[in-house]
Amino acid sequence: MSSATRSRRRGPRIQIPDRKHVDFDSPSSLTGGTLSPDLQPNTPPSFPQDVPTDCYKVGRYLLVQPLDQVGPIHIYKAFHCDTEEDFICKVIPIDKYKDTLSAYYRVGCHDHINEVEEVLLGETQVYVFFAKHLGDLHSYVRDKRKLKEHEAIKFFGQIVTAVAHCHDNGVVLRDLKLRKFVFKDEERTQLKLDGLEDACVLNTDSDWLADKHGCPAYVSPEILNTNDTYSGKAADSWSLGVMLYTMLIGRYPFHDIEPSALFGKIRRGQYSIPDTISSRAKCLIRSLLRMLPSERLTAAEILQHPWFNSGTRLHGSAKSDKKTVDQTVPDIQVEDEEPFFV
């Protein structure tokens, strides 16, 4: 794909044509190797001195460094040959990419949700490019120990507007946690939700889910207790409560070195709030960490809570064109997360 066709895909659903964007087949193993001869440019572009030579050429991009692997998805640091911009590339098996990207198509463009910048189709792999980020909120809170309320209001408002936009468009996040939100700017003032690949796209007005998926520290009690369906949006609200508590207190509300003890505390709703935060902050946390899912505030209702009455505009909007612990939640797909901040 030429650089002239590189543009952001906007609107509630991105329609990707069936034709191949680039004429090549990717290596069977994306862990290193040399460039295929048919991918070599006639005139090599100019790159910074620190770009490694053992990288992959994909369209007008170089995949220069493997970053992570989440299931079948390989994540790379990427570099655009013409603009010299840094990107994140997610390499997805071609038979899975439409389902994997369906949540991005559903939510469209939003100030605080990561957007697909470009999609390149190979014979067996799909290369999805996103703007780079500048660190995640989990690491930021851990380094600061905890956040002052004026800073937490700013960040939590951005988080909730992103979640509310997803819910309004029929997307349940399921695996909400601090690490899912990353910084857009060097000043660390703007967040975006990074990673909708494991979100659930609802096909009806009902948000009842049967599959169990989440991080141990953030999982809601009904997911642990029920063998039946549960409200996905209410489970997201519980996770938002865990996130807010952690930002303000500097540790998870439910934590224990023994998994069974951790899950027992979550099932009982056993936590305490120190007197170091305001009464309004305590009220909001308690309104989210309610045992009965129907009693929790929705994402839209959270933004109406008095805690946000600080004069800061929090209502982000859609754009105009609208590894340290192995705690396993029973029968739930779990991603590792640090047990608590120390």
Q: Is 175 a catalytic residue?
A: yes
> Exposed, middle or buried: residue 63 (CB in 10 Å: 0-12, 13-18, 19+)?
buried
- Rounded CA gap, 105 and 13, in Å? 4
Annotated active-site residue in 136, 175, 207, 236: 175
The token pair that represents 129 in the structure block: 């490019």
Q: Write down the residue that tokens 């090599």 correspond to.
A: 44
What gap in Å lies between CA 20 and CA 302, rounded to an integer?
A: 44
CB atoms < 10 A from the CB of 108, how many? 20
How many Cβ atoms sit within 10 Å of the Cβ of residue 107? 25
| The CA-based dihedral angle spanning residues 291, 160, 245, 130, taken in that order and rounded to the nearest 10 degrees | 120
Tell which residue, 236, 238, 223, has the closest CA to residue 333: 223
Give the H/E segment covering residue 116: strand 116-121
Report whether 24 contacts 38 (CB < 8 A).
yes
Active site residues: 175
